[in-house]
Chain A
Amino acid sequence: MSSSRRQALVTISSAAATVLPALGQTPSPKVLSAAQFELLQKLTERIIPRTETPGAIDAGVAGFIDASLATDAGRKDRWQAALTWFAANGGDSVETLTRISKETDTEGARHFRLLKGDTIDTYYSTIEGLKTELGWNANTYLPEFKGCTHPEHQV
């Protein structure tokens, strides 16, 4: 990790400590084993970590993924295979994740795509991801819609 990047992380995590509570206790999973669930939490947090805004664990991403497996056997199989593979390949090791994030056709790459895709889809549909992180506050009642009012954007 470059020193500027590390510096940035330190700044961010110290800011985060003032705003966010400690990462919550593990809720009990519905489908996965406790060990699998703990690994899933760590993995999702690697994809979308807590910064000055909530991360995947804050948003309960692993819990939503776990719950979704109860009604989708195909996804459940894919996740079981992925978690078995991750457990056997360094858990949530940054090195492993970095390597498989750059591969395309390997088994690891397939599991990484599942992890990244599900984490993103889930996190950015939570109040933490969509509203707190991205600032989306729409789907509401407005008396009028002004559209673009920036003079520099006009045709």
Chain B
Amino acid sequence: MAYVQESRPVHDVVVIGSGAAGGMAAWNLTRQGVNVLLLDAGTKFNRGGFWSHVKPWQYRERAARGQKPPQFYVDKKEQPYETDPKNPFDLIRVWGRGGKTNVWGRVSLRYSDVDFEGPAKDGWEIPWPIRYKDIAPYYDKVDQLIGVCGGDDDQDSLPGSKYHLPAAAPRCGERLMQKAAKSIGISIVAGRRAVLTKDHNGRAKCHFCGACGRGCDIGAFFNSSDYLLEPAYLTKRLQIIDNAVAARVLVDDKGLASGVQYFDRYTKQERVVYAKRVVVAASCIDSTRILLNSKSPRFPNGIGNSNDVIGRYLTEQVRFHMFGFVPELMGGKTQNDDGIGGEHIYMPRFNHRLPGKRDYLRGYGAQFWNTGAQPGLGFWAKMLPGFGVDLKRDIKKRFPALVAIHPYGEVLPRKENRVTVDGTANDQYGVPVARLSYNIGDNERKMLVDMYDTAESILKAAKAEILPFERGWIDTLGSAIHEHGTCRMGADPKRSAVNGFGQMHEVKNCFVVDGSIFTTASEKNPTLTILALAWRGTDYMAEQIKKGNI
């Protein structure tokens, strides 16, 4: 027996997941000479088969011929999770090489010290163990590696970058929103987006087709598969096992991570790989599920979870959408408003600069996608009254004039907002599924009042005809797709699961590097910060390996 155990291959590092977090871990470790075995729950998406240039009417023709676009999103029937039907959480997952970065919105905002210092200042839950100065060099490196376009109009809540590619030119509607906001003292800056507005690192620039949500046929926006896994592969130090659905991190009798148990997604066969170190990067909820399911005599509550922190403090952002039509563009000529797909502008958080005391903590920013002549107009066209010639004319008149604002507000981390794996429901491999219990509280409801006031006042300043909205309405929880906090980092091992490098306090050879390690969610989109933290964390990991500490 002893002989068999010694002869099994023991990998330097096993990484679980190949999205922004896992891709970065694999890339950064392999280039530093570390051999990596990566387990990914899916396979590579074939860029040649993306429907980037299929027009809306061609979609129907193709569907009638029985063709399907690439199926990026995980079917909940295949991979279930549980949520309160009265208060559902929409968990959106992409399994396969690159994960959600195949279809992500590319908004790439640096966290600032307004974010990192927030909890230390207001005393809500634990402070971040890092500050902007710790992560800034990594933001710089990430910007250079992946290519982020943007302006130099940075603010205290939105640090700039020396490495931005040229900003995408705002559309008419976006200019008018900027102008309107400025007239009431709110500044809307150039959007920061991981899209190549010029050729970059040998990659061709964007051709402004606006189809990014269907996957880019030329890879002109950052996705982990092309930008991280492919170069990592070339080092010959990366091995990938596709369709490997990780279930548990194994723990040896010293309490260290010793490998990963996984199931083949389709044959359902159980397999085990052994490792000297494990990096968990399956995206916040899937990583948390794996950690909680990794029960052992040493860690009956899940690996590294003696303090019952893992799974708790699930946080995201609360958001809604408001639309209007600006008079300057009503009845005008329809323009090609595709640009780099999604918004070219961003409203950074400003409420911390306003005089007077707020009755809530933290803040909100806003995005502006869906401005101008965009297909998929049904949602607003149906809201116009009547039918017939008048309706047809009213729709045409408004088509070029659509403006939109989508505020995102920070949700405070709360102990009771959590992921559990109580074993009442198992997946097709017999592994307990995640149950998500999550709600917003008074703080967010108070912030929403401000968010609604701001959105409405900008649209009013633009003299927009505002589409009817229900004040206080929020989008389905989870729909921001920015899950955080369930394996949070902190300096105090009693109240956090990992240190500032994503290393588990209790299990030194196990690192977690995705959004689950964020101490707070801020109001911003996380991926740039996930990339920077994963780079920083795996730099530290490589150093510890070299020193023989792990």
Closest Cβ–Cβ distance, residue B208 to chain A (whole Å): 4
Q: What is the minimal beta-carbon distance from A132 to any residue of chain B, in angstroms?
A: 11
With A49-B389, A138-B337 as given contacts, are A125 and B172 in contact (CB-CB < 8 Å)? no
Find B57's partner among A47, A48, A126, A153 (CB 8 Å cutoff): A126
Give 1 or 0 for each of A113-152: 1 = CB within 8 Å of chain B CB.
Answer: 1001100110011110010011111111111111110101
Minimum CB–CB distance from B177 to chain A (whole Å) comes to 10
Q: Tell me, yes or no, whether B174 is within 8 Å of chain A by CB.
A: yes
| CB-defined contacts of B64 to chain A, threshold 8 Å | 67
**B123 interface contact, C-beta 8 A:** no
Query: Is there a chain B Cβ closer than 8 Å to A8's Cβ?
Result: yes
In the complex, which residues of chain A have a beta carbon less than 8 angstroms from the beta carbon of B179? 153-155
B339/A97 in contact, CB under 8 A? no
A interface: dominant SS: loop
Complex Cα distance A152/B172, Å?
Answer: 10
In whole angstroms, what is the CA distance A48 to B388 when docked?
5
B169, A146: Cβ atoms closer than 8 Å: yes
Cβ–Cβ contact B168 & A120, under 8 A:
no
Given the contacts A134-B334, A139-B210, A148-B174, A101 and B168 also touching, CB distance less than 8 Å: no
Residues from chain B with Cβ under 8 Å of A116 in the complex: 382, 387
Instruction: Check if B392 sits within 8 Å of A49, measured CB to CB.
Output: yes
User: In the complex, which residues of chain A have a beta carbon less than 8 angstroms from the beta carbon of B339?
Assistant: 145, 147
Say how far A57's CB is from chain B's closest CB, in angstroms. Answer: 13
Within the assembled complex, what's the spacing in Å between the Cα atoms of A65 and B207? Answer: 34
Which B residue sits closest to A144, measured CB to CB? Answer: B208
Q: Interface size on A (CB < 8 Å)? A: 45
* A102-121 interface with B by 8 A CB criterion: 113, 116-117, 120-121
Interface majority SS on B: helix, strand, loop or mixed? loop
Q: Which of A9, A12, A139 contacts B55 (CB 8 A)?
A: A139
Most buried by A among B53, B168, B169: B169
B386–A130 CB distance below 8 A: no
CB distance from B52 to the nearest CB of A (A): 8
Contacts of B399 in A (CB 8 A): 134-136
- The stretch of B67-75, B372-380, B453-461 that contacts the partner chain: B372-380
Taking A101-B386, A130-B375 as contacts, is the C-beta distance between A136 and B381 under 8 angstroms?
Answer: no
Closest to B176 in A: A153
Measured in the bound complex, the distance between the Cα atoms of B189 and A155 in whole Å is: 11
Of A67, A120, A146, A147, which contacts B382 at CB under 8 A? A120
Q: Kindly list chain A residues whose C-beta atoms are within 8 Å of the C-beta of B209.
A: 138-142
Task: Say yes or no for A80: interface residue by CB 8 A criterion.
Answer: no
CA distance A21 to B172 in the complex (A): 37
Residues of A near B376 (CB, < 8 A) are 125
Q: How far is the CA of A148 from the CA of B60 in the complex (A)?
A: 32
Name the A residues within 8 Å of B386 (CB-CB). 101
Task: Please encode chain B, from 380 to 409, with 1 for each CB lying within 8 Å of some chain A CB and 0 for all others.
Answer: 011001111101100110010000000000
**A140–B60 alpha-carbon span in the complex (Å):** 18
| Known pairs A116-B387, A141-B207; A64 contacts B373 (CB<8 A) | no
B382: which A residues are within 8 A, CB to CB? 113, 116-117, 120-121
**A125 contacts B57, C-beta separation under 8 Å:** yes
| Residues from chain B with Cβ under 8 Å of A141 in the complex | 207-209
**Minimum distance in angstroms from B176 CB to a CB of chain A:** 6
A51 within 8 A of B: yes
Q: How far is the CA of A80 from the CA of B221 in the complex (A)?
A: 45
Known contacts: A64-B60, A146-B169. The answer to whether A136 contacts B334 by CB under 8 A is: yes
Known: A47-B387, A117-B378. 16 other contacts (CB 8 A): A47-B391, A64-B60, A120-B395, A124-B375, A124-B395, A130-B55, A134-B373, A135-B333, A136-B373, A138-B338, A140-B336, A141-B209, A144-B208, A147-B171, A148-B175, A153-B172
B residues with CB within 8 A of A: 53, 55-57, 59-60, 64, 168-172, 174-176, 178-179, 182, 207-211, 328, 333-334, 336-340, 344, 373, 375-378, 381-382, 385-389, 391-392, 395-396, 399
Q: Can you list 22 A-B pairs with a CB-CB distance of less than 8 A?
A: A48-B391, A67-B64, A97-B387, A101-B385, A113-B382, A117-B382, A120-B378, A120-B381, A124-B395, A133-B396, A134-B373, A135-B333, A137-B334, A138-B209, A138-B210, A138-B338, A140-B336, A141-B209, A142-B209, A145-B208, A153-B176, A153-B328
